Chains A and B, each alone.
Chain A
């Protein structure tokens, strides 16, 4: 019994030993729950810590030493306390203040967990509470926009504008087709005009376009005085065209003279005297003064209401005098009105063969029908019925008149180019009366008593807004004299904003013209010799890139004129707008950098068009703290057990 008990006991012990020996073996083949539980615990802690950083505002920790110090030193404002802690930490970290970011993290999180933790972003550690990392680490992520490695969190933008700017611009002072001065008598034309007083003139070129002399050798070119300086011998004749009609020989001449030294800021005058032995002398299309100057312009806004006076030149003819003034009405003008004030002197009052009062003052406006006459006319040509002697009509002179007229042109206005033609004791090639007739004009000394056309109109919007600077440029056609003549030119993108454009037609002999731009009709002479100095071009018909202007001189019957050429000194004048300001540019790390950038952008923008900002006003405080939308950056909280 005793032995059996011992044997069983030993047996049982052996069995139990075997079983016990199996336990580690089996255990080693089973999985423990501990890592998962431990990991889950770490994970909860990581999420909790991240929640603290993302959900709590910095204000909740304003008593912490670092945040408190930042507030005291006004490095952060009350507004910054409304940020989440993670945002505040991120702002300091990515703006380079890494110690501050690290300290805030430490002070806020360290008391909240007894585990090891680390806050990281983009593979950099902002703060780690333990020196070494654990084998098992739980990670919680948060994304935060506005951050990226090596990129600023926020910056400054600035804009700049020129309150004053110096620009090089061109002003064209036209001489109108005008004349008389018959059979060796003189034609005297005086052009008085004012330039801005505060300019520096770089160049002044006078193109002379006249019809004079019987032949080139007999030409009577008596005077060309620019501000009383005689320049007639300085004219470089570019083009001389003799034409003969039967026994009559006549000459069209086109020349150029440099008057840079004579033209001055302020008031100027040009006095021209020409004559011809047989025919009548006059100015041809294309006579003009081109002045290039620099002007200091203050930034301002364009006007919406316009009132302009187009003064006649003072024309003294023997006998008879005529002139045609052109002006324009923009296609988008409202309430347009115009009136003519004509002051004529020494006009012979004549009667025809039948004792009827002849029309000694004849005015045409945009038509070949007479707009005004002061006597009898048998037809629209209105030649008096008197005995003829060549071009001269020997009418009975009954007195001398100084007529002064105010004529309302409003009802006959047209959009685009308008032309008023005034004839005293003459029309076409025919003249009558004895001595001089004068279209009086002295705009500098007697502006209201002079002859002029006054035009008024409104625009719905200003032609230019503030900060925009208008620049005028002129391109000569070039090439050779021809009829028709086509001129091609290119407009750059920076010239897209054209507000005014004109074609200046230079001709030797002329009849009537038809002008088109990019195959769009813009002007046809309403009657013989109505070739305006300025033909208005609708800006909306101009294109960026290639453009073309075609001018054709034609006879009243419609055929193209054989010998009436369009000269290469015809030109295209255009006025365009350049922005004198730049908006916000890039975002910079400092206000100063942003301002410098704005200034440079303005200089480049204006410099490309030849404008020098003389006085630049820069907005240096308008926008600060413009945040970037970098990222989002990934922030990680890692938690692990202490060793």
Chain B
């Protein structure tokens, strides 16, 4: 009896062992498949995040080229844009200006990026649909343009697991306009004068005793933020002043000093008595302009209001020769 009893114990133990291993196997199998699903979903999410992140970088690249194209169009044709923000949006989305393809946008427009992403998605076995739309382009500040856009991403996996991800977000990038040509100069000088937008290294560092910085700004026609001077988008439209559609609470305008000597050497007539502030000079605004102590004799500065509630005479810290 005892033998039978012990034998049954043995059989029971063996059965328990078998059950344990069986359960363990099924648990492992379940866990493995769960990990596989998890990894796949992780991959999908990672791909999605990658797309969103890369859309921002791509938008910066596309926007940079679109701004170049827009400037190129204006300075080459001599015709300002009708609506620069709409034109830049058209350049990014379609690579064209009024339907005419622009060389710089070739292979660098939103559709090209969307196609590449969809191809990469297919390599990872995702049915992918990406779309950039509803671009909103406006000045961010004097030296930057903000581009916000709607990014719609649809990922679908029906080969490995049944899963899909569909999301539309609003993204925004900020693009600098520094190092681009200022269209206002060629438009108002028969294309003879080129000026590159560069923030003055001396901005808000002007001394009434030492005019070195101010002279350096004049010689290089460096740019300063401005309350009323045309923003970069206004300048693409050939406008001298910030238009309502581009104005914001913070100043978005630009101004530089027109170098009258440079104009003269380019064979252009010069209005010596006019202020050197570019948007006022080119617009032929008859604002009073004053001879400034220590500055060249053809340099004039007006006393119009600029940023921080100060006038040009105040912000550049100069003394008028009465």
Report whether chain A binds chain B. Answer: yes
Q: Which residues of A contact B (CB under 8 A)?
A: 4, 7-8, 11-12, 15-16, 18-19, 22-23, 26-27, 29-33, 36, 39-40, 43, 47, 54, 79, 87, 140-146, 157, 159, 161, 163, 298-301, 465-467, 579, 581-587, 619, 621-629, 631-632, 634
Knowing A12-B6, A581-B191, the reply to whether A622 touches B196 (Cβ < 8 A) is yes
What are 21 pairs between A and B in contact, CB < 8 Å? A15-B10, A31-B29, A36-B32, A141-B124, A142-B50, A142-B53, A144-B54, A145-B54, A300-B190, A582-B76, A583-B72, A583-B75, A583-B103, A584-B69, A585-B103, A622-B180, A623-B68, A625-B179, A626-B64, A627-B61, A627-B64
Knowing A23-B17, A581-B191, the reply to whether A145 touches B61 (Cβ < 8 A) is yes
By a CB distance below 8 angstroms, the chain B residues around A32 are 28
Besides A8-B2, A43-B42, A584-B104, 18 new A-B residue pairs in contact (Cβ under 8 A), listed by A number:
A12-B6, A12-B10, A22-B14, A33-B32, A36-B35, A141-B43, A145-B61, A157-B104, A159-B75, A299-B191, A466-B190, A466-B191, A579-B76, A582-B76, A584-B68, A584-B72, A622-B194, A632-B120
Residue pair B28, A467 in contact (C-beta under 8 Å): no
Residue of A nearest to B32 (CB): A36
By a CB distance below 8 angstroms, the chain B residues around A467 are 76, 78, 191
CB distance from A93 to the nearest CB of B (A): 15
The answer, among B78, B108, B180, B186, for a CB contact under 8 Å with A623, is: B180
Residue of B nearest to A55 (CB): B53
Q: Report the bound CA distance from A102 to B112 in whole Å.
A: 30
By a CB distance below 8 angstroms, the chain A residues around B71 are 622-623
CB distance from A6 to the nearest CB of B (A): 13
By a CB distance below 8 angstroms, the chain B residues around A579 are 76
By a CB distance below 8 angstroms, the chain B residues around A79 are 176
By a CB distance below 8 angstroms, the chain B residues around A628 are 61, 108
Residue pair B25, A163 in contact (C-beta under 8 Å): no
The answer, among B25, B39, B116, B194, for a CB contact under 8 Å with A43, is: B39
By a CB distance below 8 angstroms, the chain B residues around A19 are 10, 13-14, 17
Q: Report the bound CA distance from A242 to B42 in whole Å.
A: 100
Q: Report the bound CA distance from A145 to B116 in whole Å.
A: 9
CB distance from A353 to the nearest CB of B (A): 64
Q: Does B286 contact A (CB under 8 A)?
A: no
Residue pair A581, B76 in contact (C-beta under 8 Å): yes
Residue pair A145, B113 in contact (C-beta under 8 Å): yes
Q: Does B170 contact A (CB under 8 A)?
A: no
By a CB distance below 8 angstroms, the chain B residues around A583 are 72-73, 75-76, 103
A16, A143, A145, A157 — which one has the most chain B CB atoms within 10 A of its CB? A145
Residue pair B117, A31 in contact (C-beta under 8 Å): no
Residue of A nearest to B190 (CB): A466
Residue pair A36, B31 in contact (C-beta under 8 Å): yes
Knowing A12-B6, A19-B14, A32-B28, the reply to whether A629 touches B68 (Cβ < 8 A) is no
The answer, among B9, B60, B62, B120, for a CB contact under 8 Å with A143, is: B120
By a CB distance below 8 angstroms, the chain A residues around B169 are none
CB distance from A21 to the nearest CB of B (A): 11
Residue pair B113, A31 in contact (C-beta under 8 Å): no
By a CB distance below 8 angstroms, the chain A residues around B64 are 626-627
The answer, among A8, A143, A466, A624, for a CB contact under 8 Å with B78, is: A466
Q: Report the bound CA distance from A22 to B17 in whole Å.
A: 9
The answer, among A29, A582, A631, for a CB contact under 8 Å with B25, is: A29
- Which 6 pairs between the two chains have the least Cβ-Cβ distance? A15-B10, A465-B78, A583-B76, A466-B190, A466-B191, A629-B108
B29, B57, B73 — which one has the most chain A CB atoms within 10 A of its CB? B57
By a CB distance below 8 angstroms, the chain B residues around A33 are 28, 31-32
By a CB distance below 8 angstroms, the chain A residues around B13 are 15, 19
Q: Report the bound CA distance from A335 to B142 in whole Å.
A: 42
CB distance from B39 to the nearest CB of A (A): 7
By a CB distance below 8 angstroms, the chain B residues around A621 are 196
Q: Report the bound CA distance from A161 to B78 in whole Å.
A: 13
The answer, among A26, A629, A631, for a CB contact under 8 Å with B62, is: A629
Q: Does B289 contact A (CB under 8 A)?
A: no
CB distance from B33 to the nearest CB of A (A): 10
Residue pair A141, B50 in contact (C-beta under 8 Å): yes
The answer, among B42, B69, B124, B194, for a CB contact under 8 Å with A47, is: B42
Residue pair B24, A30 in contact (C-beta under 8 Å): yes
Q: Does B58 contact A (CB under 8 A)?
A: yes
Q: Does B18 contact A (CB under 8 A)?
A: yes
Q: Does B297 contact A (CB under 8 A)?
A: no
Knowing A26-B21, A622-B196, A634-B120, the reply to whether A629 touches B75 (Cβ < 8 A) is no
By a CB distance below 8 angstroms, the chain B residues around A4 are 2
By a CB distance below 8 angstroms, the chain A residues around B75 are 159, 583
Residue of B nearest to A630 (CB): B107
Q: Report the bound CA distance from A628 to B60 in whole Å.
A: 11
By a CB distance below 8 angstroms, the chain A residues around B61 are 145-146, 627-629
By a CB distance below 8 angstroms, the chain A residues around B78 are 301, 465-467
Q: Does B7 contact A (CB under 8 A)?
A: yes
Residue of B nearest to A584 (CB): B72
By a CB distance below 8 angstroms, the chain B residues around A140 are 46
Q: Does B300 contact A (CB under 8 A)?
A: no
Q: Does B239 contact A (CB under 8 A)?
A: no
By a CB distance below 8 angstroms, the chain A residues around B39 are 40, 43
Q: Report the bound CA distance from A634 to B51 in whole Å.
A: 12
Residue of A nearest to B20 (CB): A26
Residue pair B6, A27 in contact (C-beta under 8 Å): no
Q: Report the bound CA distance from A538 to B224 in whole Å.
A: 49
CB distance from A600 to the nearest CB of B (A): 15
Residue pair B72, A159 in contact (C-beta under 8 Å): yes
Residue pair B21, A27 in contact (C-beta under 8 Å): yes
Residue pair B46, A623 in contact (C-beta under 8 Å): no
The answer, among A16, A146, A161, for a CB contact under 8 Å with B57, is: A146
By a CB distance below 8 angstroms, the chain A residues around B194 are 619, 622
Q: Report the bound CA distance from A475 to B117 in whole Å.
A: 56
Q: Does B181 contact A (CB under 8 A)?
A: yes
Residue pair A301, B190 in contact (C-beta under 8 Å): yes
Knowing A11-B6, A583-B72, A632-B120, the reply to whether A145 touches B77 (Cβ < 8 A) is no
Residue of A nearest to B78 (CB): A465
By a CB distance below 8 angstroms, the chain B residues around A159 are 72, 75-76
The answer, among B28, B43, B79, B108, for a CB contact under 8 Å with A465, is: B79
Residue of B nearest to A625 (CB): B179
Residue pair A157, B25 in contact (C-beta under 8 Å): no
CB distance from B113 to the nearest CB of A (A): 6
Residue of B nearest to A16 (CB): B10
Knowing A40-B35, A299-B192, A623-B180, the reply to whether A629 touches B47 (Cβ < 8 A) is no
